[in-house]
Amino acid sequence: MNYYSIFLSLLFLPGYSFTQPTNPIIPAPVQFEQINAAPVELSTNSILYYPPNFEKQAGYLREQILQQTGLTLSLRTLVPSQKAPWIGIVLKYDTTAINKNEMYQLKVSGNVVLIKARDIRGFVNATQTLLQLIPLSKKLTIKVPAVNITDYPLFSYRGMHLDVVRHLFPLSYIKKYIDYLTFHKFNTFHWHLTDDQGWRFESNTYPALNKVGSWRDSTLIGHFFDKPIRYDGKRYGGYYTKAEIKEVIEYAAIRGITIIPELDIPGHSRATIAAYPQMSTKPDTAWNVAITWGMFNRQNNVLVPNDFTFTFLKTIFKELGDLFPSAYIHIGGDECSHLWWKQDSLTQRFIRHNHLKNETGLQTYMVGYVTAQLKLFNKKVIGWHEIAEDGLDTSTLIMNWADDKKALEVAKKGFRIIMTPAKPFYFNNYQSKDPNDSLANGGYNPLDAVYNYPIIPDAVQKAKLANQIIGAQGDVWTEYIATTTKVDYIIFPRMTALSENLWSKTKNYPDFLRRLEQFMIPRYQLWNSSYFKAYRVWTKEK
């Protein structure tokens, strides 16, 4: 008997009292109440009613129940004038009881599982909760415990990032990754598509980005700090076609996931200048796509401020913006080495001609140029914290991968912030100190550190700038992550912990571990996903 069977059998014992500590849901909902009533039974005779504008979400729920239990429900449009009695699942559009974005109510009683929401994410969030209430096994009849749940998120931005540049993953896994986000009630997928080691989306206007920039001649073997450094000598690369990207965008939209693409400029551009050397500070040089990691101040990877570059930026971001429907485009802006600009006479002339203070001013100028171009296409900018300089439009969203001190500094400048500090939200960092654990970038981010990290730092709270923090994100940089199995290993269970940190106002780590072990780990197994098992051994104190 699995954990779900035990849970359900306990529920229906005479006199059993369902109290808050037995809540199975991750992330923990705002309100979870057992109703003193018999469970609702779903069978092949049950109907899934839905409002016309949420037909795709109804189809998604039907598909998920079928995959999890083997039960096929009939679909039927919910007519506004139609009243109870219903038998089955009812998705009801409601703007009165539901007064927050992404909010839902789920009431299971009598013969009905009633879900109320007012937006796609509300219905999808309710779906994930319902899936956690029903068995993880094939059943002809499903018993859903009688409960009353009201739920909504603590933060408006809840994201996960995936770098597909250092290592490229198949389209099927990108969809699976989006499914992971959906189940955990995240709402944003940050897709890191360009960097020094490759260019990963199809461009019609600049074909050399794919013919040249999408391929590197070799890849580092072992760790960056190993001596001697070794390479495998194998050509590596590829990219996602526009048709594939559109397929992923549609897949994500049904699940309420916004995809924010990242095209990193003006640094981290080695693959770009390999394809088009005229955008480098040394246009007569034949540049290679980077075959190693750690480029900052070591290898030239910056764009030069000339006419070709600015035309490129205008055109390529228009091409990217036309492809992705998200309101925001991520432009990177991190780790932009000023060394190569300092050494280039044409760049120095540009700085003087435009009355820029220094290379930092040039970086802000280039970021501002892209920001202005994106505004013409009704798009806004997200960038890493290095771009948060005076003179930049404060409508720009800032991702802070540094510490709490940097968060306070950026907040004081008037920017809204997404917290993604390397410590503890870089999931490519080690989750143990076991020397036999697989390679990681460095640092140590155990599960409890992810769960307990205060997303709004104390200093920001004290400065009365808490409203500047709109959420957080877990990042996955893939220098040492070559397979989908390892992606799963490094994100689970830390992604699960982050989901509750972002969603739930009240947190209880021991109870989280209980729910993780009883209800979530069986789901990792259902997904055929690997995960780190020694999370109780390795903690913040070790």
Catalytic residues: 195, 268, 335
Rounded Cα distance between 233 and 75, Å, is 54
List all residues 6 or more positions away from 59 whose beta carbon is below 8 Å from its beta carbon. 75, 254
Reported as type and span, the H/E element at residue 460 is helix 458-462
List all residues 6 or more positions away from 541 whose beta carbon is below 8 Å from its beta carbon. none
List all residues 6 or more positions away from 522 whose beta carbon is below 8 Å from its beta carbon. 2, 3, 4, 136
List all residues 6 or more positions away from 460 whose beta carbon is below 8 Å from its beta carbon. 404, 407, 408, 411, 466, 468, 469
Reported as type and span, the H/E element at residue 190 is strand 188-192
| Angle value at C-alpha 365, between 364 and 371, nearest 5 degrees | 85
Dihedral of CA 240/243/245/248: which sign? negative
From the CB of residue 24, how many other CB atoms can be counted at a distance below 10 Å?
21
Cα dihedral 522/523/527/530 (nearest 10): -60
Check: CB of residue 382 under 8 Å from CB of residue 331: yes
Residue with tokens 């000339």: 306
Burial 99-122 (b: 16+ CB within 10 A, else e): eeebbbbbbbbbebbbbbbbbbbb
Query: Which alpha helices (DSSP H) does 198-291 contain, by range?
Result: 208-211, 242-254, 270-275
Closest CA to 470 of 168, 154, 160: 154
Query: Which alpha helices (DSSP H) does 113-170 contain, by range?
Result: 120-133
Burial 159-193 (b: 16+ CB within 10 A, else e): bbbbbbbbbbbeeebbebbbbbbbbbbbbbbbbbb
Check: CB of residue 532 under 8 Å from CB of residue 432: yes
Joined tokens for residue 248: 């992923």
Rounded Cα distance between 133 and 171, Å, is 30
Joined tokens for residue 324: 């992705």
Q: What distances in angstroms separate CA 22 from CA 5, 34, 505, one per listed residue?
A: 14, 10, 18
Question: Cβ-count burial of 381 within 10 angstroms (0-12 exposed, 13-18 middle, 19+ buried)?
Answer: buried
List all residues 6 or more positions away from 125 whose beta carbon is below 8 Å from its beta carbon. 102, 104, 117, 151, 153, 185, 256
Rounded Cα distance between 212 and 225, Å, is 28
